[in-house]
Structure formats: C-alpha cells, structure tokens
Amino acid sequence: MSSSARSVDLTGFYTLTKREILRFLRRPSNTFAPPFITNVLYFSVFGVILGERVGTIAGVPYILFILPGLVVLGAVSNSFENASFSIFHGRWNEYIDEVLTSPLSYTGMVWAYVLSAATRGLLVGGLVAAIGWGIVSALFQPVPLERPLYLLGFLLVITLLFASLGVIGGLLANDFDDLTVMNQFILRPLVFFGAVFYSLEDLTPLLRDVSLFNPMVYMVNGVRYGFLGVAEVDPVRSFLVLVAMTAIAAAVDVALFTRGYGLTE
C-alpha cells in the first residue's frame, strides 16, 4: 500500500471511529443512565438484601463476589448493542452506503465500528465498577484490585469480542425486533448462566462441565481474578480462549463486509 493510500485509510478510520464515539457520547441519558440505574438495583437487591442470606463465597462477601460479573454484563451488553445498532441503523436508513463508497478499506471500516463499540463497553464497565466500588466500600470493605493488568486485559478483549459479534448481529438483523431478541434471549441468558451470581463449585459435576462451554464463564472468572485474585478457571486459559474467539469474530466481520453481506440489496 502506498503512503498516500495509507494516509487515506488512517484518516477515514479516524473519522469513522470518532463519529461513532461521538454518537453515543452526545446522548448520555441513553448511554450511561440506564446502566447506572440498573446496576444500583442489582447491587441493592442481589448484593445487599440477598447477600445477607448468602454470606460469603470464596471467602469474600457476596456483593463483592458478584461485582466482576456485573461489570462484565455492562461491558459486553453495551459493546454488542452499540455495534449492532450502528450497523443496522446505517443499513435501515441507508447512510452506511456513504461509508461503503469511501476509500476506506473493509478492514478499516470493521475496526472503526468495533473499536468505537468497545470504547462504549469499557466506559460502561468502568461506570459499573465505580458504582460497585462505592456501595461495597460503604457497606462492607474496600474493593481490592489484586491483578490490574489481568483486569484491563480481560475487559479489553471481552469488549472487542462482543463489539465484533455486534457487527455480525447488525448485519443479520432484518428489523429492530431482531436486535432485541439477540440481546434479551441470547446475550443476557449467557451472562446469567455464566457464574455471575453463583460459584461453579455449587453446581453438579455435569452442570459445571456444561458451563465451561459458555464463554461468559471465562470472562467473569477472568475479571473476577483481576479484582479479587480468585478464579475457578485458569485465567491464562480463559484469556487465550477469548483472544482466539475475538480474532475469529473479527475475521468473520471483515469477510462479511468484503462480500457485502447484508449491506447491499
């Protein structure tokens, strides 16, 4: 690729990424208010009220045990929703045609959508972590941060993964109801059965083995290891599995864009 072509690609990538980030930053009531309210409720009901009955898991208060899972829920939900909505809304209103006719490469297009969606996921995940830190610190104990590099690495890879899956979802959707179905009936069940609110040790051996096919288990355990230094699945194994899944999902995104799948009539 010539230097002028690289310059065009970088300029287009930067412009599209900036546009997508500004799109959700300009509407904070839609981007940040819902996860704030939802997670205050989660922490209040599951962490405080139910936590008094559960006591401790793995030697930590229940509210502290569920904090990493709720961070994952906020991060992946917003990464997926942002990417899927951006792609589908652009298709629906046909302004994605402007992106497709630009000199930006298909790889650049995909990564602009993925990185902007992952940015939203990271911001919301950070917001959830801040909410949890405030509630847990006020009621129980300071929130530890045992493995900050692991925490950052896992949050980065899971937001990239679900942003990449969101691009696929946006290309597959035929209407806005399809986006709702993907989020409510596929994404959220995976999260809730991903050891967010319970320990894998509480399951029967069969259910525990079945749970290991759920990618959310690796995400929640990885983030939990970053916060607490406690994991029920080897964190290195979890990270490698998620990196491989992210690479595959991103490659599928580029292949679909190259073919024009869902983008052209």
**What type of residue sits at position 226?**
G
User: Any residues with CB less than 8 A from the CB of 218 and at least 6 apart, and which?
Assistant: 233, 237, 238, 239, 241, 242
Q: What is the DSSP string of 149-187?
A: HHHHHHHHHHHHHHHHHHHHHHHH-SSHHHHHHHIIIII
**What type of residue sits at position 202?**
D
Q: What pLDDT is attached to residue 94? A: 84
Alpha carbon of 69 to those of 17, 47, 264: distances in Å? 28, 12, 38
Report phi then psi at 56, rounded to 5: -125, 155
Is the Cβ–Cβ distance between 211 and 189 less than 8 Å? no
Q: What pLDDT is attached to residue 242? A: 94
Q: Tokens representing 26?
A: 């300009």
Angle at 39 between CA 90 and CA 111, to 5 degrees: 30
Q: What pLDDT is attached to residue 4? A: 46
Q: What is the DSSP string of 200-214?
A: GGGS-HHHHHHHTT-
Q: What pLDDT is attached to residue 222? A: 93
Q: What pLDDT is attached to residue 87? A: 94
Average confidence (pLDDT) per 10 residues, the chain, 265 residues:
56 91 89 84 75 74 86 92 93 88 90 96 93 82 87 96 95 87 82 84 88 91 91 90 95 94 76
Q: What pLDDT is attached to residue 136? A: 79
Q: Where are the domains of the chain?
A: 3-259
